[in-house]
């Protein structure tokens, strides 16, 4: 599964760049204030090593006020259109939304993927749309919404419960007509999870990759990194993010969703050499380990 998804490749981890067209995102809200600025940011991310640009117009941080689909469309559709006009058809674009109407408008404007933090639970029209449009779909685990998820971070077995929920959501998606090849899984780091839950999920990603769906992991700048580092400023969590990117790749992630594209692309390239391809980086004259007798 996953071979038909644009932006993915078997020999490297895909870098998904966060492009927030929002005034209130947790780490970079309000940084992009115009379509031209958004296009410049997308171009810089591509030059920095991004393989997918994830464009979103609704903050999903804890406590965020939910915008309706009309506001989201006003924010993201002009950016998508401008990126296609100025950067061409080659960049792989994703829309970060849980509204089917926004996803439909974004697909018509030229996006390739739909990235839904609700896993199809927010808008009943989303899964039928994805089935009809046959686009890649990131199915994420989350409990509640931005206002309620912190109060729902209670698990007996966080890995097993996230795994079971993703399997249920996958069955629901397939019952709606979504094909297995369209799906990527996201364990939803930071969404209805404590620091302990997030670290536990990162330690046991192989439980999720075992099912064969490409795994997207989004640890970038998140609160649990700040808790471990005692760093309240999200923009100063790059080294912690780098460690989580390495752990995600070692655990089999196919995609990492990040803010600091150029730096984390280098981290991912090195991590790929260490974990994705055992022989990567070795010279022809370097002795190779011998099999045990």
Query: In angstroms, what CA-CA distances link 79 with 57, 85, 109, 193, 212?
Result: 10, 10, 9, 32, 33
Q: Where are the domains of the chain?
A: 14-276
Give the pLDDT band (50/70/90) at residue 149. confident
**pLDDT at residue 144, as a whole number:** 64
- The torsion of the CA quartet 283, 287, 289, 290, rounded to 10 degrees, works out to 130
User: Which member of 75, 222, 223, 237 is catalytic?
Assistant: 222
Question: For residue 110, is pLDDT > 70?
Answer: yes
Asked which of 17-26, 56-65, 176-185 is least confident by mean pLDDT, the reply is 56-65
The fourth-level CATH superfamily of domain 14-276 is: Dihydropteroate synthase-like (3.20.20.20)
User: Which member of 75, 143, 193, 257 is catalytic?
Assistant: 257
Is residue 257 annotated as part of the catalytic site, yes or no? Answer: yes
Contacts 24+ apart (CB under 8 A), 101-104: 101/69, 101/73, 101/125, 102/57, 102/69, 102/72, 102/73, 102/76, 103/129, 103/130, 104/129, 104/133
- The torsion of the CA quartet 101, 104, 107, 112, rounded to 10 degrees, works out to 80
Instruction: Work out the average pLDDT over 206-232.
Output: 96
Asked which of 167-171, 222-226, 288-292 is least confident by mean pLDDT, the reply is 288-292
**pLDDT at residue 176, as a whole number:** 98
> pLDDT: is 283 or 161 the higher one?
161
> pLDDT: is 145 or 156 the higher one?
156
Question: For residue 272, is pLDDT > 70?
Answer: yes
- The torsion of the CA quartet 155, 157, 163, 167, rounded to 10 degrees, works out to -70
Question: For residue 30, is pLDDT > 90?
Answer: no
Strand partners of residue 137: 114, 183
Task: Determine the Cα–Cα distance for residues 132 and 108; give it in Å rounded to an integer.
Answer: 13
Instruction: Work out the average pLDDT over 267-279.
Output: 88
Question: For residue 161, is pLDDT > 80?
Answer: yes
């Amino acid at each position: 599964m996953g071979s038909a998804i644009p932006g993915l490749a078997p020999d490297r981890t895909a870098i998904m760049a966060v492009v927030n067209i929002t005034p209130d995102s947790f780490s970079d809200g309000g940084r992009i204030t115009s379509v031209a600025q958004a296009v410049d940011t997308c171009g810089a991310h591509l030059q920095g090593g991004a393989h997918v640009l994830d464009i979103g117009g609704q903050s999903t941080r804890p406590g965020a006020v939910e915008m309706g689909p009309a506001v989201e469309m006003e924010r993201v559709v002009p950016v998508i259109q401008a990126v296609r006009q100025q950067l061409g058809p080659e960049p792989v674009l994703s829309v970060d939304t849980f509204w089917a109407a926004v996803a439909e408008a974004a697909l018509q404007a030229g996006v390739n993927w739909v990235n839904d933090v609700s896993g199809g639970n927010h808008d009943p029209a989303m899964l039928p749309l994805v089935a009809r449009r046959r686009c890649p779909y990131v199915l994420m685990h989350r409990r509640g919404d931005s206002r309620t998820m912190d109060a729902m971070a209670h698990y007996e077995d966080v890995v097993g419960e996230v795994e079971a929920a993703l399997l249920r959501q996958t069955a629901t998606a397939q019952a709606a007509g979504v094909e297995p090849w369209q799906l990527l899984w996201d364990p939803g780091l930071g969404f209805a999870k404590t620091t302990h839950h997030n670290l536990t999920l990162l330690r046991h990603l192989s439980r999720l990759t075992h099912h064969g769906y490409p795994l997207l992991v989004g640890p970038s700048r998140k609160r649990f990194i700040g808790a471990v580092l005692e760093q309240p400023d999200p923009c100063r969590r790059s080294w912690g993010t780098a460690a989580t990117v390495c752990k995600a790749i070692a655990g089999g992630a196919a995609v990492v969703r990040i803010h600091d594209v150029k730096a984390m692309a280098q981290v991912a390239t090195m991590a790929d050499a260490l974990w994705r391809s055992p022989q990567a980086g070795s010279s022809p004259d370097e002795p190779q380990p011998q099999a045990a007798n």
